[in-house]
Copies of this chain bind each other. A is one copy, B any other.
Amino acid sequence: MSDVTINAREIINDAIEAALLNEDINQFRAEFLKIHPYDQSEFFEAQTKDVRYLIYSYLSPEEMAEVMEHVERELQGEFIVEMNPTYAAGILAKMATDDAVDILNDLDKNKVASYLTIMPEDEADEIKALLHYEEKTAGSIMTTEFVVVSIDMTVKEAMRHLRKVAPDAETIYYIYVVNHDRQLVGVISLRDLIIAEGALTIEDVVNRQIVSVSVGDDQEDIARMMRDYDFLALPVVDFQNHLLGIITVDDIMDVMEEEASDDYSKLAGVDVDSVDQNPVAAAGKRLPWLIILLFLGLFTASIIARFEETLEQVALLAIFIPLIAGMAGNTGTQSLAVAVRGITTGELQKRGILKTIMRESVTGIITGVTCGLAIWLIIFIWQGTFFLGFLVGLSIMITLFVATISGAVVPMLMDRLNIDPAVASGPFITTINDIISITIYFGMATMFMRFLL
């Protein structure tokens, strides 16, 4: 974004703030309504409660609906419930149906029922139809505001129909074609419709090679399809191929963002979208994993405690604990991340599970042998002891091999059991590999004690 644009926005924001300060409704509307709804929402979010109430009184539900569509997901519900209920219901009715449903899904059922009672029946029905779909499925992100034409219309009739419904549709760039049973039979892009002769029928110009998704499909799969096929919208059908709604690319961008942040969060063991929280809330988000790790760490401690005798004989053994545990944890995270990513993109399934395990095994052998030999050599030079280096090197070798395989197998296993593979998150796999590596290291040290002394 060029600096010029940013400066221009600041000047406008100042003008809007001045208008609010003077309670000058005309001035406010003139300045506020000429900026983009996203900028309106940014401005709106930054205001205090008193100023927000003033803004509610200055804008129609229809105007406020546009602002609300761009407000951050977590704040939308908060704002809706602070409004006068009639005004709130008016906004929900005027918003894109899928966005209104997202807000209502966060509110308690009594509130939802009362908003639906106050708003016009038509809009209430549209919202009700979408309210019962499961989260993260096609049904939950689709909208019912799309353009549909019958297969026996002429191109001219279709264009006339399009002009009429265009203001309310979420996208008019794909026109979906149905038969008399409202079953999806094809699609025509606005581009093709514009180029087509008016006297032709839709049947002449329809593209029957249409890709659709089922209403229960997972949003992540749909995002992948949309990216692969470069669609701007995808139709959603039921099991009998009835057209139920469409999913537009703007909602898919939000899905992609959400899924990416989800995977990233799980690898780090924390909800990364908590940057704007207060410290108590932030600590609350981080403590669950830390407490689990604390207990896993105590378990690791109890394993080492069993080797106390070994440790007392050769205290030097302790100095390599962080090295071995650290490398096991990291290599596990590496193969975990590759596997989770492969499952997410579908590449791993394409390649086959057995082949992937084989691949990881060989990778583990290569990295294990390389690092094992390197550490043996370094410790030999550094400490002058041949056998301690050999022990650490061999432990690293076995550990990297086992940790690499476990990092790959755990998420694949979870996927098989229909659990989100990303749940086998970074800290979890790291600690499991800590335990495995420490057991290998001390087990071997105890076994070969006579060489160490």
Q: Which A1-38 residues have a C-beta within 8 angstroms of B?
A: 1-2, 5, 34-36, 38
Chain B residues with Cβ below 8 Å from A342 are 275
The answer for the CA separation of A34 and B254 in the assembled complex, in Å, is 32
The answer for the CA separation of A181 and B72 in the assembled complex, in Å, is 39
Asked whether any CB of chain B lies closer than 8 Å to the CB of A289, the reply is yes
Chain B proximity mask over A326-338: 1 for CB below 8 Å, otherwise 0: 1101110111111
Chain B proximity mask over A256-299: 1 for CB below 8 Å, otherwise 0: 11001101110111101111101110110011011101101110
Asked whether any CB of chain B lies closer than 8 Å to the CB of A413, the reply is no
Chain B residues with Cβ below 8 Å from A263 are 260, 264
Query: Given A209-B34, A304-B322, A326-B325: A337 and B190 within 8 A (CB)?
Result: no
| Choice from B225, B337, B340 contacting A1 with Cβ under 8 Å | B225
Query: Given A305-B316, A315-B311: A331 and B268 within 8 A (CB)?
Result: no
Residue from A230, A254, A311 with most neighbouring chain B CB atoms (10 Å): A230
Give A423 Cβ to nearest chain B Cβ, in Å: 15
Q: Is the interface of A mostly helix, strand, loop or mixed?
A: helix
Asked whether any CB of chain B lies closer than 8 Å to the CB of A178, the reply is no
Chain B residues with Cβ below 8 Å from A36 are 209, 211, 229
Q: How many copies does the complex hold?
A: 2
Count residues of chain A with CB under 8 A from any CB of chain B: 129
Q: Is the CB of B270 within 8 A of A337?
A: yes
Chain B residues with Cβ below 8 Å from A431 are 326
Query: Given A253-B253, A289-B330, A289-B334: A323 and B298 within 8 A (CB)?
Result: yes
The answer for the CA separation of A322 and B70 in the assembled complex, in Å, is 46
Closest to A337 in B: B268
Query: Given A1-B213, A359-B282: A298 and B253 within 8 A (CB)?
Result: no
Chain B proximity mask over A431-445: 1 for CB below 8 Å, otherwise 0: 100100010000000
Query: Given A275-B348, A426-B426: A321 and B323 within 8 A (CB)?
Result: no
Query: Given A227-B253, A270-B334, A366-B280: A195 and B163 within 8 A (CB)?
Result: yes
Chain B residues with Cβ below 8 Å from A427 are 330, 333
| Choice from B195, B322, B336 contacting A321 with Cβ under 8 Å | B322
Asked whether any CB of chain B lies closer than 8 Å to the CB of A191, the reply is yes
Q: Is the CB of A334 within 8 A of B2?
A: no
Asked whether any CB of chain B lies closer than 8 Å to the CB of A341, the reply is yes
